[in-house]
Amino acid sequence: MLDMKWIRESTENQEELQRVADQKGIALSVAELVRLDDQRRTLLLTVEGLRQRRNAISQEISTLVRQGKQEEAERTKQQVKDINMELDEQEALYRKVDADYAQLLILVPNIVSPDTPVGASDEDNVEIRRVGEPPVFDYEYRDHVTLGEQHRMIDIPRGVKTAGTRSYYLTGIGAMLHRAVQQLAVDMLVAKGFTLMDVPLTVRTEAMENTAFFPLGQDQAFQITEQDKWLVGTSEVPLVSFYGGEVVDVAQPIRLAAASLCFRSEVGSGGRDVHGLYRVHQFAKVEQVVLCEASAETSEQLLQEITANAEELLQKLELPYRVVAVCTGDMSQKTYKQYDIETWMPSRGAYGETHSSSNLLDFQARRSNIRYRDAEGKLRYCHTLNNTAVASPRILIPLLENHQRADGSILLPKALRPYMNGMERIEPPADAVME
């Protein structure tokens, strides 16, 4: 969340916030938020004034009783009853206004960085750089589903039979490859000083709200029926929540990593990316989360660092990719600045998103109440950042498609070979039909 004091500070701040809410597609009236805040402040003063008046009169009654002035004490008690009636009305009104205010406040988006491009959708994202060249095939190439079936490493029909749409099995070499890319990412991050964690995959509603995935992302999450629990769509939620409500030491940035299963409902994506492994309900991610001091310069440096980590992983996988600056309309409520990394996918004839890096400033830490003491000893909210080091099976799409060979084999990047028992290429099974 944003500091309400900052919102109220000037009409310029309110206009900026309204503009960002509109650009992010969030139905929020900042003017109504300020109006409700004014009303709740006025009501709170009224309620507190009535309570003080009641307490003063109650003390007066005690004095009258001690003085033996029973008639006057009884008349004064009627005043207390009248005040209590008015207090009940004002408290009820305050609770309603405060609830309406809270409903709007939780919709307030983070502001965006000055260099964030303005746009309506991912089509308006701005390319920053390209690394590597897409392969040119002098033969009819195969997509990842065909390759996966021919090598008996992907089985989507049985996944759908077992779990419904957007489900799959990875078998044999496919399962090994899935685990190999994750372990490569984990080893790379641990070598860079990240603390590896194994995290809960089910969390309370509070954790989803505190990390700003709720309420706007609630339709993307799977709920455990009749429990206050949700399956996480990213380990960012439990990693950030690890420090929820605490005062931490960020003299050096806190770097955390987790390899975990993730679950997303993909509501609203019906008919989109239905072929293959691009958009599925269950997947695995190696996530980077960083907490640091509330310095725009520091968090910007760390954003570049975690983005570079993801790029290094793609370079190790020998895959062509591009980095794009994400526009306002493609950003989430919580994000201040974001880069997406898109990897070339021959079957799509385009770059497809495989990684995302975000700087949230103190938006997430305010909700999660994660603070540190600055040089003067003052408590301040941390800045938080996150990045996908690798997500699988989506990464298998470019990995299989870009490294395929005319004979149907798949060359393994050198960095992956130690994780694949020294295997240099994936050969088709002897009885496979390679069309």
| 208, two tokens | 């989803």
Of these residues, 279, 348, 373, 417, which one is catalytic?
A: 279
| Catalytic residue (choose from 260, 356, 358, 368) | 356
| Residue reference for tokens 């003491």 | 373
3-state secondary structure of 418: helix
Q: Has 255 been annotated as catalytic?
A: no
- Which residue is it, tokens 């989430």? 332
Among residues 54, 264, 367, 371, which one is catalytic?
Answer: 264
Report the C-alpha gap between 66 and 78 in whole angstroms: 18
Question: Scanning the structure block, which residue is given the tokens 């969030």?
Answer: 26
Q: How many CB atoms lie within 10 A of CB 10?
A: 10
Tell me which residue of 358, 356, 429 sits closest to 394, measured CA to CA.
356
Q: Tell me, yes or no, if 417 is annotated catalytic.
A: no
Whether 357 sits among the annotated catalytic residues: the reply is: no
Known catalytic residue at 279: yes
Q: Contact, 102 vs 4, CB < 8 A?
A: no
3-state secondary structure (DSSP) of residue 313:
helix
Extract long-range pairs of 263-271: CB within 8 Å, 24+ residues apart: 263/201, 263/221, 263/222, 263/231, 263/232, 263/233, 264/220, 264/221, 264/222, 264/233, 265/219, 265/220, 265/221, 265/222, 266/166, 266/220, 267/219, 267/220, 268/219
Q: Answer yes or no: 58 catalytic.
A: no
* Distance (Å, whole) CA 174 – CA 171: 5
Q: Which of 266, 287, 342, 353 is catalytic?
A: 353
Burial of 310 per CB tally in 10 Å (0-12, 13-18, 19+): buried
Residue tagged active-site, from 54, 142, 366, 394: 394
> Which amino acids are annotated catalytic?
264, 279, 353, 356, 394
